[in-house]
Every structure is written in C-alpha cells, then in structure tokens.
Structure 1
Amino acid sequence: MDQQQVRDLLTKYRLGRCTEEEKALIDQWYGRTARQQAYPPQQLDLEAARAHSWTNILARVQSQHTFEARIHPMRVVYLVAAVAAMLCVGFFWFSGSLTRPGSDGAGRMITASALPGEIKTYRLPDSSLVTLNGGSSIHYPEVFGQKSREVTLTDGEAYFDVKHNASHPFIVEAGRTRTQVLGTVFSVRAYRSLSDVRVTLASGKVGVRNASGYPEMQTTFLLPDEQLVVDNQSGGVRKGHVHARSLAGWIRGALDFNNEELKTIALLLEKKFDVPVRVDSNNLGEQRLTARFRAEETLDDILGTLAMAGSFSYRHVAGQVLISMNEH
C-alpha cells in the first residue's frame, strides 16, 4: 500500500466510511503504535493512548495533519458525548418547589466573566468554584444569604464545583431554567444567542424547573448521564442519555460536538477562538455534525475537518470566518 492509499484510507476512517476489513487494519495500526509507547501504569488512559497513537499514525503519512477527530455526517447519528456537566452528591427541594430569588437578599452584586478565548475559574463566597467558558458571565452576591446560595448565569457556559451545605441549597438561574442542588459538580450551557438551555448530570441527582417570570412547569429530575434541554421560546423540555464526562472537556480546551447544529458549532468556535464565525444560510446552519477535537487543534484544523464531513466550504474574510454551501 503506497502513501496515497494510506492517506485515502485514513480519510475514510475519520468520516466513518471504512469497511470492516479496513477498520480492522486501522485498529491493528492503533494497537502496534500504542504498544510502542511507555505509559506508566498509574497514568494509563485508554482514550488518551488511542488519541496519541492516532496522532503518530497521521504524522507518519501526512505530516501537515496533526489533529484527531471522529466525524460522522448528519445522516449518521451517534449518541456519544454530551454537554458538559457533572453533578455529584446531594439534592434538596423546598416542599416540592424552589426558593425564589430576592427572598434572601445579601450584599452587593458581583459579575465574573471570561472573555472569548479564555477559560477562567472563580471562587464564590462559600468557597465553591465556578469555571467559565469563553464569552461567559455570572452574577452573584458578595455574601450569600442565610437561606440559599443563588447565582445567575447571564450568558455562556459554567462548570460549578459546589461546596456541600445541607441547609443552604445552591441555585443556578440560567435562561428560563432554575437548577437546585446542595453540593455537587455540574455545568449549565445558556448562551443568549442559542435557542436552549442545557443541564447535564454525571452523578448524584438534580432538579430543574422554570425560573421566575415564566409559567410553572413540573420539576424534572435528572439521574447520572442524563441531560435536560429546555427550549427558551416554547418552554418545551427534552431529556436524553449522554456521556457527561466527554462534554466537560471544554474545561481543558477540548471540543466535543454531539449531533450539534452547525450554527451552534459556529458559536462555540467563535467563543473559543475569539473570531466571528458566520453561517450564510439557515438550511446549512441546521446541518448536524458529531466530532471531537483536542485542545491544541487550531480553528483551521477544526473547520477543515468539519467542512470535509459536512460538504461545505469556509473562508477568512475581513477578520471573520464565513461558512457557505459548496457550489456544485
């Protein structure tokens, strides 16, 4: 097999178009490469080893490609990774309903934020930690009240590591959602320019309901590896199974898209790389893609691979990226 045939085979593999025989051949390469690495037993991570092997294979046959991604066209749907959120132990519900904001006023308000391209961690008044994705901001009191700890995610995505306190529930208001826990680790995605709010659970239990000012809805409880999607316009909810750990990768700068619309991917790329990314038509923006990219991959690495899978093109124009349909 010559070098061009190898490159063609690897391209088919990334796009999920290999035959079983071709997949077996790729897997053999993975195995041989992985066995050549000296991973200390205590640091062994199978996914990391697989990604490392993949990078080495690509480097040998096509040095200009140094990224790893698994892409599936919109007609192939894999319910793999999910949006970012892990919830550990503890849950509390006040007589079947959530405490409302303003009932426990405490001190002046503080705004914490992360600029596009940044990931920043802040310590809250109760020593809980919050990590903000690029282009995100939260609003909270300088001192939490005596009955509850309330935080508002005003825009973006936040990952909370909440200090346990059985008598003071921790509440996050985002979009039209209100999520309550006692002490846990979880994240919420609620960018203003997206049409929904997403809460995902890795462990423990959490309850989500409408925020103040919206019609009452039945509380939805999530179990580990479940995700709740709430439509900001209609208030409709959708619950499904996900792999919560994968979507928490954004904290390390990685990107994991699970059957996401291209317009959503464009926004997340814009927040990560601080470059405007525009999709030129609604039909193209509704195309769905699944992919995983490591933190060190560039915007062009990611867009080049997505374009190959989604049959679109992109170009840099006047400081922004324009995504458009391929011309036939």
Structure 2
Amino acid sequence: MTEEQAKELLQKYLDQQASPQEQKTVEEWYATLHAKDVVLPADRKVAIREQMFIHLQAAMYQKPKYGKVFKLQSFIRIAAAVIITITLGISVWKLNTQVASENQITVVTGSTQKKRITLPDGSVVLLDPSAKLCYPKAFASNNRQISLKEGEAFFEITHQEKRPFTVHTTSGVDIRVLGTSFKVKSYRDSKHIEVAVVTGKVAVSDRKGNLGTLIKDEYLTYDKSAGQAAIGKTKATAFVELAFDGASLDQVINKLQYVYSIKILLNDSTLGKLKTTASFSSKQSAEEILDIICSLHHLKFNASKNHKTFNIYR
C-alpha cells in the first residue's frame, strides 16, 4: 500500500465510509502499533501529542451526519484512526530513518544522531546530526552523483578514475573528486557553505563556473549571497585509514597519488602487479609509507626536490 492509498483509507475510516473489510484492515493496523518500538526525541513527542489532542477535539465536537447520534464506539474508532494518522506522519517525516524510493535512497539523521553510510561503490559517508543525504541505489557507468540536502558530512571516496564523484548541494555548489576524503557543511539557514579537504584533491564549482581547487589541509568558504569563495588552510587536521588487502602496487600508487596529491612512477611496469597487504594512516608522510611498501617488496625509491614526484625501482 502506498502512502497516498493509506491516507485515503484512513480518511474513509474517519468519514465512516469504509467497507467492513477496509475497517478490519485499519483496526488490525492499529492493533499492531503497540508492538512497534518507535523511539522519538522528547520535543517531537510533545508535538505529536498536541496534534493528536487537536484532532481528537475536532472529532468529539463535530456535528453528527444524517441525524445519527455520535456513539462512544465511533469516537474510539476515530481516535484510533487519528493515532494511526499521526504514526503515518512519523514515517512521512522520515525521522532517524532510511527511506528508499524506486531509484533513490534518502537518509536523514535526528538532532542527536550520527550515521555511517556505505555507498554502492564502497565509498563511506559519515552523516552528522540533522543532516539529509540522497544517493542512487546504483551509480551510473560513467559518473557517481549524490546530493547533500542539509547538514554536515564527511566523505571517504573510493578512487575510480573513469567514474568521477560529485556531491551536489541545494545552493548550487558542487564538489567533484576522483578519490579522496573531505568534509562538506551545507545548511539551508546558513549564509555559507564550507568544504574542507583531508586527503587528495577536489574541485568546487557553482552555477557560474569553477570556484577553486583544494588540496590536502585546505578549505573553501562560499558566500551564498555574494556568490564568492575564499580558500584557506585548515586549523585542525583529520586523518583517514589507508587499508590495502592484496591490492596491486598499481592500485596502491593510485590511492597514494590522490591522497597526497603526488606523482609516483615505476621504472618497470611489471612492478605494478606486486600484491600489497598493509594498513596506514594519512597522518604518516608519503615518504614513510613508500619506504614501508618498498621494504616489503625489496624495492627502492627516490624523491624530487619538492617531494612531489617519486620514482620506484629495484
């Protein structure tokens, strides 16, 4: 039964126009409500209680139809239907829940709740309280697009060179990446949108064009009214885990290149097939991680003067 059909059925029940079978459906529905474990914040419970009181008062004082006397049984049935209607409203509000439409999934967090979401490509999103995220059940073959409708979220994006990843916001600001980790803060009532990069590189744009490209430990603040952006250095550094389980050296290199915004070259292409199983953290320097990986495979490496390009060899 769809949400609209449920509303129509409840209205028929309230108007005493439901068939015996429809009445039975509503009453069985009501009977199951007590078994459900619905956890709500205190302020939301107060709002529901007030709304129920208003509906019940209206039901008690409405004029009888066709001269019939308003009976206690009818009142109880109406009261039950009102409670069901309020319960339906709870689900429609999508409090602390995950709702799937035909092709999209919407996740909403409560005022004190955080959620960890794994996207179809293996990317991870950490939603802060009072946030709303929409993403497809399956990404397209040539791109990955999701929408942060409200709130703050931290993204750890799986690197896929042929499928760029884009986060859309309600203010028209988009964040495009290939594989990295970053944080986005976008509230409807706030004058600004913030994007902070923990690892890798992202490009931020609005409807007019590119606003800037951010690398590790940089952030961008966007003024919605002025349509202008400012870039600065982050004060506090966050870290992400870099785990490899039987990954090829080519895959490891691709990940490190995006995490640290560096270039890593192999003097022998066959080295790219070597398998690596190890865990690191972005708090470690690129040189430290390369030193460990090369030790595992009995390889060597050297760095350019600016430490932006590395060569791996036997």
Tell me which interval the TM-score lies in, with the shorter structure as reference length.
0.3 to 0.5
TM-score by length of structure 1 reads 0.40
Structure ID, larger Rg: 2
The structure that is strand-richer by fraction is 2
TM-score by length of structure 2 reads 0.42
The structure that is helix-richer by fraction is 2
Higher relative contact order (CA 8 A, sep 6+): 1
